[in-house]
């Protein structure tokens, strides 16, 4: 009997702890005004004004700045043309949907900042950072003008244009977590 009660208390404590942690995480979201393509493009233009030697060395993560810009550009491009590989339909309908919903509510995303898009072309570390940034800016401008059918996201499934815009913005802002001396505010 004591074991059963111990398990119940343990499970209840875990649920309460996870709920409290989730509520705290969700309460620390981004500023809604910064979560638009226009705001993101403005930030990217500011990055583009930096000297090459500064821009190249801004990323403190496993990828250099050019690789981050290329990765984010790939995501935007694939939202229009189709992702090369997808998670299972079950994943997209469950974990993927829940994850995107949580990110959207919070106004911030967290993900592995060194995980490539499945089956995407390899990220070349020798590409010029300004060229990679220009590709990202161009892909976002094309996305803004895009009127065609959007491809399902490889992890989140079907997203409308507004949701994809938010996903692209949150995705890049999350990658900025690995950039030194650059604030998104």
Q: In angstroms, rounded to a whole number, what is the distance separating the alpha carbons of residues 35 and 168?
A: 9
Asked if 72 and 175 count as a contact pair (C-beta separation under 8 A), the reply is yes
User: Over 50: is that where the pLDDT of 86 sits?
Assistant: yes
Tally the C-alpha atoms within 13 A of residue 53's C-alpha that lie toward its C-beta: 0
CA dist 15 and 182 (Å) reads 37
Q: Is residue 185 in some structural domain?
A: no
| Widest Cα–Cα separation across the chain | 69
Band (4; pLDDT cuts 50, 70, 90)? low
pLDDT in tens, 27-66: 344 567 789 999 999 999 999 999 999 999 899 999 999 9
- How many structural domains is the chain composed of? 2
Give the SS3 label for residue 147: coil
Q: Once rounded to an integer, what is the mean pLDDT over residues 69-74?
A: 98
Same domain (yes/no): 20, 67: no
pLDDT tens profile 93-108: 999 999 999 999 999 9
Q: Is residue 181 part of a domain?
A: no
């Amino acid at each position: 009997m004591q074991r059963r009660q111990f398990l119940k208390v343990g499970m209840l404590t875990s649920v309460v702890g996870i709920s409290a942690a989730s509520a705290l995480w969700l309460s620390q979201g981004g500023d809604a005004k910064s979560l638009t393509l226009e705001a993101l493009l403005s930030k990217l233009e500011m990055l583009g004004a930096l000297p090459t030697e500064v821009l190249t060395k801004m990323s403190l993560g496993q990828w250099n700045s050019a690789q981050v810009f290329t990765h984010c550009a790939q995501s935007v491009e694939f939202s229009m043309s189709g992702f090369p590989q997808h998670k299972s339909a079950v994943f997209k309908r469950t974990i993927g949907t829940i994850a995107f919903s949580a990110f959207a509510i919070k106004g911030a995303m967290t993900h592995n900042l060194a995980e490539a898009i499945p089956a995407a072309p390899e990220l070349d570390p020798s590409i010029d950072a300004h060229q990679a940034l220009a590709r990202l800016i161009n892909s976002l401008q094309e996305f803004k003008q895009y009127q065609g059918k959007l491809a399902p996201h490889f992890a989140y499934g079907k997203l409308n244009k507004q949701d994809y815009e938010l996903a692209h913005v949150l995705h890049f802002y999350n990658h900025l977590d690995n950039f030194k001396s650059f604030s998104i505010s």
